[in-house]
Amino acid sequence: MRKTLTVVAATLMAWSPWHTFAASSVDLTVTGLITPSACTPGLSGGGVVDHGKISAKDLSATDQTLLPASTLQMVVNCDAQTLFALKGIENSVGSTNPNGFGLGLINGNQPLGHYTLELLNASADTAAATTLKSVDDGKTWDAMGGDVWSTLNLASFGNQSGGNWAPIPIKDLTADLKVSTRIAPASGLDLTNEVPIDGSATLEVKYL
């Protein structure tokens, strides 16, 4: 069942000695959609990628240092088949890549590096599904292909059965979330003290 919530007619009373013909009311409309089903995302390992201790001497002075990639299993479980997308929200700062998520700052002004996310091997209700991306908040979709999933786009899962790429309703989704971490060139970092790798992001379900 779909329910639309509308609130109309918020009236503002005002008096002005120099603007006697101004409108004396204004309409306020609040809209939305209450979905009967809910979806819960989850990540294996508690959603933690731990690179352990890394010696500063092992970092390249002039190039980014790619750390070993990690892959977590991501699941999204819904009460019923539901159209949804996923949005990545940056919680840290200092990304050295517009398509990546930050790892924090050293001394408040030196970006430590960034990590990127890739959604791979998606399965929607036990059937293979194509990972999709939207750069216009869900108005149009395209296959993500080899692109990374960033804060600049939504991710979803679907097919081309209607002629264009589009999400499909899903009850249970599984996918691999590949996390690739890169440390900025060491020559631009103050590494005289221990530096925490401080990356954090929220993966949010958005109903379509």
Which CATH number covers residue 48? 2.60.40.1090
Question: Does 13 fall in a domain?
Answer: no
pLDDT tens by residue, 173-206 = 999 999 999 999 999 999 999 999 899 999 999 9
Question: Does 7 fall in a domain?
Answer: no
Provide the residue range defining the domain that includes 117.
Answer: 37-207
Question: Does 72 fall in a domain?
Answer: yes
- Mean pLDDT, rounded, for 142-165: 93
DSSP for the chain reads --EE--B--B------TT-TTS-S-B---B--EE-S--EEEEEGGGG--------GGGS-SSSPEEPPPEEEEEEEEEEEEE-EEEEEEE-S---SSTTSEE--EETTTEE-EEEEEEEEEEEETTEE-EEEEESSTTSS-EE-TTPPB-TTSEEEEEE-TTSS-EE--EEEEEEEEEEEEEEPPGGGS--SS-------EEEEEEE-
- Mean pLDDT, rounded, for 144-157: 93
Question: Does 191 fall in a domain?
Answer: yes
Question: Does 20 fall in a domain?
Answer: no
**Structurally, how many domains does the chain consist of?**
1
- Say if residue 6's pLDDT is above 50: no
User: pTM of the entire structure?
Assistant: 0.82
Q: What is the pLDDT of residue 185?
A: 95
Question: Does 17 fall in a domain?
Answer: no
What band does 32 get if pLDDT is binned at 50, 70 and 90?
A: low
- Say if residue 12's pLDDT is above 60: no
